[in-house]
A and B are shown apart, each in its own frame.
Chain A
């Protein structure tokens, strides 16, 4: 009697990876999940930061999927390694700063390393031919197999019948005839299969689960690089791009303005790393100053910041600016009028 085969499943938290895992489990394969945290994942952070989202149920969808399936989930921090994917994607970017093809290749490569290290037999993903414009096309799916090194140890159970036979099928670890032939952008087959399995609650994010597919986020990332000496980032940089209004009134500095209480609390954690402004005479947001500023810049920053507080219509407001060394200085300023803030200052 042969021993049970083992597969690792790339779990995003969406429906497709949930289905592909279940399809494989139903063939007697031991499946565990793996989820890679790049720093650009959408859900957890924004919900945690923004108070207005506090009423939404907070859950990590990948963990939730694992729990529904009854499998272990390994969450892997790839923040540092992912930099090379985002900064130098061999296949370029999608509509925004999303390097989807390189990203998928990277994740499958990491999964391939994982199965080699842990003695697993193959990798499964929820990919479907024609589902995504960059990474899930008939011509790019073999690229992922080749460049990740996984080759024919990568099985896509939902679309397997549209693709060449893989080793798990050839060796009889899984029965090819019980796999699927999904293709295209329609979600109907997945929804029908979900119903068959009794899955009623699942996530189907329209733009995927990555901030890099979001235009507003990508614009902020491009702006950050355009105003720095090097095209690089740290984890805090990409976190701060998710939070607040970003206004760049001068090329050498920008302001990060909290939009509500939850964001203020989050930005408070950065007060030692950034000069910052707070209105003292009225209720107002915490504002971080990203960049070196002179006296004129400080005044301008204070006037802009005052615009976003309760004193916006007052003749004067009392602001306080705190430098990086912790030295706080009062500033009395007239808030800028709405029409004094050009639209192109908004990043």
Chain B
């Protein structure tokens, strides 16, 4: 299972969500995306985006000033 990384630090919401959306659209079902953000709003928004699109959030936690989220792609997304 291949793993990909997205650095969305210094981006304010909704930009981290937009970057996640773009990254997920390039991945195949079953692949993993590991995201790191600095906007605390991402802790809510990125999992919310995953829920409405049917992707699995394996981890979402605040670590100091950073938010770490791990996503498993569950369906092929539309490329925007």
Contacts and interface: CB of A to CB of B under 8 A. Distances in A.
Interface of A: 35, 37, 41, 44-45, 47-49, 54, 58-60, 62-64, 66-67, 70-77, 118, 239, 269
A48 B13 contact: yes
B48 A63 contact: yes
Contacts of B15: 37, 77
Contacts of A64: 48
Contact of B39 (A48, A70, A72): A48
Given A49-B12, A75-B14, A67 B41 contact: no
The prevalent SS among residues of A at the interface is: mixed
A59 B40 contact: no
B26 interface: no
**A58, A59, A67 pick with most chain B CB within 10 angstroms:** A58
Interface in B29-61: 39-41, 43-45, 48-49, 51-53
A67 B51 contact: yes
Contact of B48 (A37, A41, A67, A76): A67
A41 B41 CA distance: 15
B17 interface: yes
B28 interface: no
Contacts of B53: 72
A49 B41 CA distance: 10
B78 interface: yes
Contact of B52 (A41, A73, A118): A73
A48 B39 CA distance: 6
B41 A63 contact: no
A70 B53 CA distance: 9
Nearest to A35: B14
B10 to A, nearest CB: 6
Contacts of A77: 15, 18
Contact of B45 (A54, A63, A269): A63
9 contacts: A41-B14, A44-B41, A45-B13, A49-B12, A58-B44, A60-B44, A64-B48, A66-B52, A76-B80
A197 to B, nearest CB: 18
The prevalent SS among residues of B at the interface is: helix
A45 B12 contact: yes
A59 B41 CA distance: 7
A195 B39 CA distance: 34
A77 B21 CA distance: 11
A47 B41 contact: yes
Interface string B61-80: 00000000000000000101
A167 B4 CA distance: 44
Contact of B78 (A45, A49, A74, A269): A74
Contacts of B21: 74-75
Contact of B44 (A59, A70, A73): A59
Given A72-B52, A73-B52, A75-B17, A59 B12 contact: no
Contacts of A75: 14, 17-18, 21, 49
B17 A63 contact: yes
Contacts of A45: 12-13
A37 B40 CA distance: 19
Given A47-B41, A58-B40, A64-B48, A118 B78 contact: yes
A37 B41 contact: no
Contact of A59 (B18, B48, B51): B48
B5 to A, nearest CB: 20
B27 to A, nearest CB: 16
A63 B15 CA distance: 13
A73 to B, nearest CB: 6
A346 B41 CA distance: 30
A44 B48 contact: no
Contacts of B40: 48, 54, 58
A90 B80 CA distance: 27
